[in-house]
Amino acid sequence: MSPMEFEFKPVSHITTGAIGLPGQRVFYLQARKDEELITLIIEKVQVQSLAIGVHKFLEELAKAKPDLPSASAAYDESEMGLTEPIEPAFRASQIGLGYDDESDMMVIVAREISPEEDDAEEGSVARFWTTRSQLLALSHFGLDVASRGRPICGNCGEPIDPEGHFCPKRNGHKK
């Protein structure tokens, strides 16, 4: 399959979500521009890293541009759900952030590493241009979605499956 390129400038909606049971969930990044919809498969850690990166990026931007109005993190959870059909265009292996000063727009760049070539330039790419508020809301919602998984063991920090888990700090006893 040849690489695809998607450019949504600007998105009319952007969200993240997960489908499946905790411990078996598949995470998605989804954007809409008018009637066009694109869904990407991402990892839970990418959702979390993106959220942390957005916060750091916006903090640095606020320091560099103190006159810039603050972004709002407000979102309506009922509007943040994934839209059917869930037909992923590709699995994102790299996700980056950017900012265009002239338009005051942020961009998420998601890249796929081509299976034939271990080169990000050969895989598909999606660019989702958002407002700072859209991206901040996405990061808050994404952290909320990621936290809905399995509980974390207070001893070792690993997720606990419904049937328990092997905890190295409990000398191998199941918790």
Instruction: Kindly state whether residue 104 falls inside one of the protein's structural domains.
Output: yes
Instruction: Kindly state whether residue 175 falls inside one of the protein's structural domains.
Output: no
The CATH number linked to 70 is: 3.30.2450
Instruction: Kindly state whether residue 121 falls inside one of the protein's structural domains.
Output: yes
Instruction: Kindly state whether residue 63 falls inside one of the protein's structural domains.
Output: yes
CA torsion through residues 105, 108, 86, 8, sign:
positive
Q: Would you say the pTM of this structure is higher than 0.75? A: yes
Structural domain for 111, as ranges: 5-170
Amino acid in position 4: M
pLDDT of residue 172: 56
Q: Give Cα separations from 108 to 6, 21, 47, 51 (angstroms).
A: 11, 27, 12, 11
pLDDT tens digit sequence for 4-21: 999 999 999 999 999 998
pLDDT tens digit sequence for 86-113: 999 999 999 999 999 999 999 999 999 7
User: Which among 116, 106, 107, 112 is positioned nearest to 125, based on CA atoms?
Assistant: 112
Instruction: Kindly state whether residue 139 falls inside one of the protein's structural domains.
Output: yes
Q: How many helices (H) and strands (E) does the chain have?
A: 2, 8
**Count of structural domains within the chain:** 1
Instruction: Kindly state whether residue 162 falls inside one of the protein's structural domains.
Output: yes
Instruction: Kindly state whether residue 110 falls inside one of the protein's structural domains.
Output: yes
Instruction: Kindly state whether residue 166 falls inside one of the protein's structural domains.
Output: yes
